[in-house]
Amino acid sequence: MRPTYLEVNLFQLKQNLENIRAHVSPAKVLVVLKANAYGHGVDDVAPFIAPFADYIGVAIVEEGIHLRKMGIQTPILVMGGTLPEQLPDFIEYDITLAATSINLLTAAEQLALASGKRLKIHLKIDTGMERIGVREYEADALIKKSLSCSHLEIEGIFTHFANSETIESDGTLTESKAVRSSLQLERFQEVLSIYEKLSEPYPQLRHTANSGATLIMPESYYDMVRPGVLFYGVYPASDIERTIEVKPALVWKSKVVYNKVTLPGRGVSYGSLWQAEAPTRIVTVPCGYADGYFRRMTNQARVIINGKSYPQVGRICMDQFMVNVGDDDVNIGDEVTLLGNGITAEELASWTGTNEYEVLTNISARVPRVFTGAVQ
């Protein structure tokens, strides 16, 4: 196997899910498996975790189809936008549609009528994200239309928070330039009141809580929560209250493949952005930005070798990068930790100028995944 690989602890994922479930009970838990299970490897994560999840969330219908072809029977919600011409796939593979407009809802009703098969629907309400969905002040027409769709199963209604992980110093939700989560929740509740005015029952599954809200907004749980990055053991913000204990399930490892002493004045890597001031041992690690180890981390990142932290030096290449180990005895074949075991996704994000989500989801498919902890 390639010396650069991910080690994913499936039991830790299950433990994270159990901790989340215990905290939000009696609400159900939708596990988000989009983007290759946040880089963890959906082909192995999904079959293991699906029996323990109430629902699975994906971004695009192709991700849902892939899960169905793997034999996953758990309900699947496509949370992202969908074109009308994609609707037959939802029928064929029994995948739940996020109805983001009256036109899409109408097209789904017509297809269900023509096919003789019912299609599960979750109505998507835009309470402040301005991405997809019907705005709360236009939701009356969507709800009335949904109630007239006799060939659809209107199973759920949901919204998505724009700022649930951002906290003021006093612990309250921030009032930034973007909409507050508490205001979004008020808007969502106003939409739900439409059902009361129409003397109609709510859809079975009302859900709003992403990872941040799952941690700090119990009033947002309703019938189901949707933890994404939290399920993988990463908190959505460094200063958020950690009301649920989760731990990372992923460790990114490699090995030293080359070892040399670099003399003063000899530039290391493209652009000669770093030079040693004295004879210095430089080791090469077979991982680069094509693997998701961002070029933007050049001369900022650190790794762990033989239990000690060392700085990455010189420009990160497509397939390799170099590490300054000083005078230490580091040899070819020694294990290198890039993420995990003392190096957090938050750190990689800070070195890159991004967030933890991008760090995880950009780990390339060419990095092998090794799974542990399936039987505990």
Q: Which active-site residues does the annotation give?
A: 34, 270
Q: How many CB atoms lie within 10 A of CB 131?
A: 12
In contact, 181 and 217? CB cutoff 8 Å: yes
What is the residue whose two structure tokens read 């460790």?
251
Which of 213, 208, 180 is closest to 192 using CA atoms?
208
What is the residue whose two structure tokens read 């496509």?
78
What residues pair up with 96 in beta bridges, in sequence order?
77
**Interatomic CA distance for residues 228 and 322, integer angstroms:** 33
**Interatomic CA distance for residues 108 and 152, integer angstroms:** 8
Q: Which two tokens stand for residue 50?
A: 């699906």
Rounded to whole angstroms, what are the CA distances from 138 to 127, 180, 190, 251, 318?
10, 20, 11, 46, 48
Rounded to whole angstroms, what are the CA distances from 42 to 211, 370, 373?
19, 12, 16
Rounded to whole angstroms, what are the CA distances from 292 to 238, 247, 322, 336, 343?
22, 22, 16, 16, 16
**Taking the alpha carbons of 306, 307, 311, 316 in that order, is the dihedral positive or negative?**
positive
Question: What phi and psi, each to the nearest 5 degrees, are found at residue 123?
Answer: -75, 130
DSSP, res 84: G
The answer for residues whose C-beta is within 8 angstroms of residue 46's C-beta and 6 or more apart is: 33, 37, 56, 67, 70, 72
DSSP, res 246: -
Q: Which two tokens stand for residue 104?
A: 């899409």
**Interatomic CA distance for residues 26 and 185, integer angstroms:** 19
What is the residue whose two structure tokens read 């004879």?
279
